[in-house]
Structure 1
Amino acid sequence: MNVHAHEPPDPVGIDVDRLAPERIDTVLTDVFGHGVRCRELDRALDGAPPGPQWLLAELGDGRVTGACPRGRWRRSDGDVADRWRILEVLVFAAHAQIRLGEGAGSGWIATDATGDHPEWLRPRDRSFLLQGWVGDEYRNSLGGEVPMTVTREPSGTEAVLPVPWTDFSGRLRPLSEPGRSALESTGTWLTVREYWAADPATGAVGVAFHRLTGMYAGTKPTGPEFEVGTGDRIEEH
């Protein structure tokens, strides 16, 4: 028995609500059945204009990705996902994420919570490079109105991503102070919002929850930036 066991702290700045079975049905019907925008995500917009939606689904026999920039989805597969094949489904946008569990037997929607929070516990946006081998021979654009790219590693591993793939590169970006510069990175990115928590028992602070917010190609969409040569964090941007 762990005498130090205690309830983990709640992440700050995030609301997570369980989806009723009929709302789970709506998600699956929209995304996999009719191939139209996920209404449950749009319900969480709270008056904001609708933006792109993305899909990342792990099935028992493979992975499905997709994007819905406007009214209809383009997915990496052409078949409806039977529930028994589902291990996890993530349907996400900049403002919210829906997660369905195994067999779509349960589901949750995560959105930003209202209210003011301490600066050191406020949500932070991050972007992670989607690693791919550099060179035209390692990627193939599938064409179409909604971009879709097949990327390949020398090992033979393939991934189908709903973005116009951009190889990783970097250039020096001069800062306002003479003689200083930052490395401006370009590539293909998965963006994430991190939510932090403080443990009242130990005082430890760390990431306690995250949700996916998008996929992008081009200049790195989030900070932080670091100075070339010193590695110091750059506050201006």
Structure 2
Amino acid sequence: MTAVNPARPEPDRLKPMGVENVSLSVEDITTLHAEVFGKVPDKQGRSSLLDRYDPGTTQWLIAEFGDGRIVGACPGKEWRLSSTGPEPLPRFSAPHPGAWHRTSDKDDTDAWRLLEAVVFSANAQIRVGEGARAAWLLRDGDLDALVEKPWLAPRDRSFLLAGYPGNPNRSGRPDRPGQKHRWVSHDDVTFTIAEELSGATVVHPVRWEKPCPASTGKPPQGSWLSVREYWGQDETTGEVVVAAHRLTGYHVGDDPHPEGDTK
């Protein structure tokens, strides 16, 4: 039996402040799949739902499957995905997925492969859950309500992509300090194949730059993945924790949020 600490709030007692979380329909999920992984006439490949709230900005994808990961970016009209990019990107990517939902009783789907997919831009995020059974749209909500509680204002942070750029060889592992496939261009998007500190080989939909830690006396530099954190406070104990978050983009260069920006 696990002891329960009454002073620690249960997750459902913490409501994230300043965020709007909307459940999406099956039709929304089907449309998203077609726009990101397939060609839809007159929709230019971008997520139309994200464009409704954040038009014209770069859209990003991180999708986890049971047999690997697919990442991508859409800075313009069409997606550039690791699963369909030039070699050697597909070797380090999950296979390109088929449909997530049936259009007839005879159709098979690839929904069983999906663990989670996140399609995001600077101001909105769509998260598709396991098996594509549900999805949610997250974006900023009413921030005026937080004027009297500034400690609950959303905070932007960035995480440094650590690791080693590599030259993938036939064994599937990068050779340090290889240069040939350090960066792979897929039209207007640069991908990086890198080896994480754990030894795993990963693909990032961004140009990887060697980290420059703050200990050098200069501002930390490198390649970053940014998130926006939404805070909640337990009314009984007063405890304040991160109750929700969404991804906001990749960046190269200086830390875009060195002090943890609040807005």
TM-score category, normalised to shorter length: 0.7 to 0.9
- Contact residue 162 and residue 197 of structure 2 kept, 8 A: no
Distance 1:201 1:156, change over 3 A: closer
**Of Structure 1 and Structure 2, which has the larger fraction of its residues in strand?**
1
- Which residue number corresponds to residue 57 of structure 1? 63
- Which residue number corresponds to residue 112 of structure 2? 84
In structure 2, stretches of 5+ residues that fail to align are 85-95, 99-109, 166-175
Q: Aligned match of 2:122 in 86, 94, 110?
A: 94
CA RMSD of aligned residues (A): 2.6
CA distance in 2, matches of 1:207, 1:65: 26
Q: Which whole-Å deviations, capped at 9, do the CAs of 1:37-76 have from their partners, x for residues lacking one?
A: 111111223xxx4210100001010011111111111111
Alignment pair present for 1:167 and 2:202: no
Q: Which whole-Å deviations, capped at 9, do the CAs of 1:117-137 have from their partners, x for residues lacking one?
A: 121110000000111126753
- Contact residue 33 and residue 80 of structure 1 kept, 8 A: no
Q: Aligned match of 1:137 in 178, 182, 204?
A: 178
Q: Aligned match of 2:26 in 10, 21, 38?
A: 21
Query: Structure 1 residue 171: deviation in Å?
Result: 6.7
Alignment pair present for 1:152 and 2:195: yes
Q: Aligned match of 1:215 in 204, 227, 250?
A: 250
Identical amino acids, percent of aligned pairs: 42
Residue type at the aligned position of 1:80: P
- Contact residue 143 and residue 153 of structure 2 kept, 8 A: no
- Which residue number corresponds to residue 138 of structure 2? 110
- Contact residue 187 and residue 220 of structure 1 kept, 8 A: yes
CA distance in 2, matches of 1:125, 1:153: 24
Residue type at the aligned position of 1:65: V
Match of 1:120, SS state, is helix
Query: Structure 1 residue 34: deviation in Å?
Result: 1.9
TM-score, normalised to structure 2's length?
0.75
Counterparts of 1:68-79 in structure 2, within 5 Å, are: 68-78=74-84, 79=96
CA distance in 1, matches of 2:253, 2:177: 16
CA distance in 2, matches of 1:171, 1:133: 18
TM-score, normalised to structure 1's length?
0.82
Distance 1:98 1:133, change over 3 A: same
Distance 1:51 1:87, change over 3 A: same
- Contact residue 26 and residue 40 of structure 1 kept, 8 A: no
CA distance in 2, matches of 1:10, 1:154: 35
CA distance in 2, matches of 1:124, 1:113: 14
Q: Which whole-Å deviations, capped at 9, do the CAs of 1:131-170 have from their partners, x for residues lacking one?
A: 1126753761112321111112476521111001111014
